[in-house]
Amino acid sequence: MRFTSRTSLDGVTESHFTVDDVPGVLWTPTAAGPRPLILIGHGGGQHKTAPGVVTRARRFVTGGGFAVAAIDAPHHGDRPKGAEFGRIAGELRAGMAAGGDPAALVAAMHEHLAGQAVADWRAVLTAVQLLDRVGTGPVGYWGMSMGCGLGVPLVAAEPRVRAAVLGLLGATGLASAAARITVPVRFLVQWDDERVPREQGLALFDALGSAEKSLHANPGGHGDLPSIETDSSLRFFARHLSQDGVVVPGS
Amino acid sequence: MRFTSRTSLDGVTESHFTVDDVPGVLWTPTAAGPRPLILIGHGGGQHKTAPGVVTRARRFVTGGGFAVAAIDAPHHGDRPKGAEFGRIAGELRAGMAAGGDPAALVAAMHEHLAGQAVADWRAVLTAVQLLDRVGTGPVGYWGMSMGCGLGVPLVAAEPRVRAAVLGLLGATGLASAAARITVPVRFLVQWDDERVPREQGLALFDALGSAEKSLHANPGGHGDLPSIETDSSLRFFARHLSQDGVVVPGS
């Protein structure tokens, strides 16, 4: 693990790093000491410091005392783009432009990335947990859309992840991995999602194997997730990842 | 308005009253002064001091500083039962015992009660708002199942109600009233509800006219609403009914 920059602003330290070839960012409170960690998986075409990632990361740090890590997904952000990825991405763009249901094309894209993405997250998690300011406490995962498509196989495979907030994606290609998830899950649906038909999102929630799972649906399209769900995610993680010495927000 | 008893326990004053022929209960903090009011509508076959009503009422008082009122629905609790009600209730019981979808029978029951129930709530609301310990501040409504079936027409008709938590009921007979609701609504669905088919509950959420509405779904049957939703309802009301001088819980 190699750190490339470190800045602090308003009580949050932001450190950029690489683990092998994977570029990532770690946000922590400026105070020393271990704390629970939340991994944030970005959406398709985005990257580790997309505005939605940074806003949630800072909120989780300042509101809950968590450490937060994000990485560039394979073929995203600062990582090189492969030819096969370009071909699949082109098919997906063409399919979406044609106005049909792109569920199968989205699933093909996520399947192309998932194996590498899960390996990347596991290596980064191991490296980050060696840091004194993180430690080996409970880990959560937050990811919507592609962040859900790569998160479902990660959470299904990785026992260090104890709770997850997922959503904005349908069940195509994910039902069997979702059924292997047993940790508490909060699942978010946008009621008027123009990319994910409502029934497909509900079907992915339904497929989750977790005994403790809850669905939150709000009006609006794929990009209209209300900010109140960020605070609700924070309380969800505070309930499920809290441990001695962690600042937990009210209720 | 006539008070028949008053007791205080753990910072909550519980006053029983009647308004005309309608028996009700008011819970308030023991401290003086006006505060927002939450009306709780009980479920079918229940009454104003059913355990679920009392538990939520006390939580809303102690956790949010609200006043809370509940009344016996027509033909419920301490109120006389009419012959026509008995006939409709018998048909509903027989229909449920037969194992079919009782949505039409449930809707017929609620339709039989709704006109009187809405008039009762409006008279009680007027009386309760004259009390110094309540006042004319914002009003919320909380009701599941029959409490939703009678709450939808109330919230649609009564401009003093500014926010509502509804759920555990389908759209049969309620879609047009639901479409007239414009205040913020939290809607609760039990994912494995043995009385309300999932699609019917989702359809009632869909029918709500409110620009600001959110659906929370949890695993389990009709009677398994998790207690975490009580705290979530409390935060919902605190956001939408808060005013100067009210104790609002964290976030």
In three-state form (DSSP H/G/I as H, E/B as E, the rest C), the secondary structure along B101-125 is CCHHHHHHHHHHHHHHHHHHHHHHH
Cβ count near A84 (within 10 Å): 10
Residue in chain B nearest A215 by alpha carbon? B217
Residues of A in Cβ contact (< 8 Å) with B202: 202
Residues of B in Cβ contact (< 8 Å) with A217: 205, 214-215, 217
Angle between helices A83-97 and A103-129 (to 10 degrees): 130
Give the ipTM: 0.90
Over the stretch B21-76, which tens digit does the pLDDT of each residue have?
A: 999 999 999 999 999 999 999 999 999 999 999 999 999 999 999 999 999 999 99
Over the stretch A66-95, which tens digit does the pLDDT of each residue have?
A: 999 999 999 999 999 999 999 999 999 999
- Rounded to a whole number, what is the distance in Å from the CA of A231 to chain B's nearest CA? 8
Residue A99 has pLDDT above 90, yes or no: no
Cα-to-chain-centroid distance, residue A241: 16
Residues of B in Cβ contact (< 8 Å) with A64: none
Residue in chain B nearest A217 by alpha carbon? B215
Tokens of A57: 């990361």
Residue B244 has pLDDT above 90, yes or no: no
Residue B251 has pLDDT above 80, yes or no: no
Q: B235 and A251 in contact by Cβ < 8 A?
A: yes
Residues of B in Cβ contact (< 8 Å) with A211: 219
Residue B248 has pLDDT above 70, yes or no: no
Q: Give the model's confidence band at A8: pLDDT under 50 very low, under 70 low, under 90 confident, else very high.
A: very high
Contact B229, A216 (CB under 8 A): no
Classify domain A2-79+113-241 by CATH number. Answer: 3.40.50.1820
Residue B225 has pLDDT above 80, yes or no: yes
Domain-wise residue ranges, chain A:
2-79+113-241
* Chain B: residues touching A (Cβ < 8 Å): 63, 189, 191, 202, 205-206, 211-219, 226, 231, 235, 249-251
Chain A interface mutation, best of B216, B229, B231, B239, highest count of A Cβ atoms under 10 Å? B216
Q: Which of B55, B62, B70 is nearest to B12 (CA)?
A: B62
Residues of B in Cβ contact (< 8 Å) with A216: 214-216
Q: Give the model's confidence band at B99: pLDDT under 50 very low, under 70 low, under 90 confident, else very high.
A: confident
Tokens of A97: 């432009």
pLDDT of residue A247: 47
Q: Give the model's confidence band at A249: pLDDT under 50 very low, under 70 low, under 90 confident, else very high.
A: very low
Residue B149 has pLDDT above 60, yes or no: yes
Q: What is the mean pLDDT of residues B168-186?
A: 98
Q: What percent of chain B is predicted at pLDDT more than 90?
A: 92
Q: How many whole angstroms separate alpha carbon A142 and alpha carbon A148? A: 8
Classify domain B2-241 by CATH number. Answer: 3.40.50.1820
